[in-house]
Structures are given as structure tokens and as C-alpha cells.
Structure 1
């Protein structure tokens, strides 16, 4: 089970199994981070720019 490190949303709360596939992961300061599809879409530019989630 995954939990979004930005908003706290749980993967099990998502009813659509296709959307469950769109969770993203990142490594920040050596720590693995997981983000739900909503947070991933909202902060895509920051993720592409490799900004840490503290800057979002």
C-alpha cells in the first residue's frame, strides 16, 4: 500500500485500478518519496525540474 508523501492520500482509497498505476516515485536526499496522481499532475513541472517537494 502506498501513501502520498505530499497530501497523505492512500492508494487503497482510489477506486479505479488504472489510476493506481499512475502513482509516481522520486528520490530526494537519498529518501524514496511517493506521490499520488493528483499531486503528480499538479507538480509535474517541479518534478521535471528536479525540485525537492519542500519547494512545491
Structure 2
């Protein structure tokens, strides 16, 4: 996904999260990071840090839910 949280892809503007937590490893960030990945799984946004994104790139591009990787 290439748009920022709260963008037009989810029906309008919304509040951006103040801090992000990687759904895979628990790494914290103080806001949207350009190297992180956002995935929508079962209607819920999940964020993945750059390390987890790189490690699981093929699964992400194959649109597998994170439970598979």
C-alpha cells in the first residue's frame, strides 16, 4: 500500500496514529515511517517495520496474510 493512513483509500481523512508498533516484532516508531509497510488484513491496518518488511517481501507481494509468514 502506498498511501498514508487516513488517506482517500479508506473513505476520508482520519487521525494518524501517534506511534506505530510493528505487528511482527513489536518495534516502536514515533509516527509514520517511510520505510515501513502498511497492510490491511481483515479490515484492520497492520504496520511492519523495515526489517520485517524486507524479510517477508515475497509473502507481502503475494498478498498473504501475515499469519502465513
Flag whether TM exceeds 0.5 (same fold).
Answer: yes
Gaps of 5+ in 2: 1-18
TM-score in terms of structure 1 length: 0.81
Q: Can you give the 5+ residue segments of structure 1 that lack an aligned partner in the other structure?
A: 13-19
TM-score (norm 2): 0.67
- In structure 1, the residue matched to 2:52 is 39
Q: In angstroms, what is the RMSD of aligned CA positions?
A: 0.9
Instruction: Name the residue aligned to 1:54.
Output: 67
